[in-house]
Structure 1
Amino acid sequence: MIKTTVIALLTAASLAGVAAPAYASAFGDVSPEFRSFVADSIVADLNQKGVHATSVEEWGDLIRAYVTNDNGTQTMEFFTPGSLQPVTK
C-alpha cells in the first residue's frame, strides 16, 4: 500500500512538473529517453481519461494514440497536445 502511494505521488509530481510543458509542442525537441518518458506520461493521462491507449507517438502537430477498443480491436485516435482533447474530422 505504501509502495503504491509513493509511486503514485512520484508519478504525479513528475507529470505536473516535467511532462506538461512538453505537451505544448507534442513531444518537443528532446532526447529519446525523455521522449519515451513523455509518451508514457501521455498514455497514463489518456488512460485516466478513459481512453485505453497502449502507445502514442508524435504525428505532425498532433498526438496519435493506438487505442484498444472494448471488443479487442485496435484503432488510431488523434489528440491535441496539452489538453489531450480528441481531434474530430
Structure 2
Amino acid sequence: MSKRITLSLTALAFALAAGPALAGPMCNDATPGIQLSFGVSVGEKFSESDRNEFDLQRLRAKGVDATSVERWGSCIRAYVRKPEGGIEMQFFDPNSYRRVE
C-alpha cells in the first residue's frame, strides 16, 4: 500500500473513532416506550425566546441555578452558576430536564 492510502485510512479511522466524542452530549436517546405525534397543536407556536424562557423556568424549578439556556442540537445547553463561584456550561434533556454528560 502506498503511504498516501495508509495515511488516508489512518485519518479516516481516527475521525470515526473521535466522531462521537466531538459530537457532544446525546439527549432523547433513553426515553422508554413509544412516542406518537399527530401534528395537533393548540394555540400559537412558541418563539425561540419563549421556549428558552420556558426551559429556564423549568430548570430553575428543579433547583438548577441557570442564568441562560438555549436549545443545542437535541439538548438544552444551560449556563449554570456554580456554588463556589463562576459559571459552568451544562446540558439537559429537553423532555426530562435531567442533566446529561
Unpaired runs of at least 5, structure 1:
1-16, 23-33
Structure 1 segments (4+ residues) deviating >3 Å: none
Partner of 1:61: 74
TM alignment of 1:1-89, pairs within 5 A: 34-88=47-101
Post-superposition shift, 1:65? 0.3
The alignment yields a C-alpha RMSD, in angstroms, of 2.1
Structure with a larger share of its residues in helix: 1
Post-superposition shift, 1:73? 0.5
Partner of 1:6: none
Post-superposition shift, 1:48? 0.8
TM-score by length of 2: 0.52
Residue identity over aligned pairs, in percent, reads: 43
Post-superposition shift, 1:59? 1.2
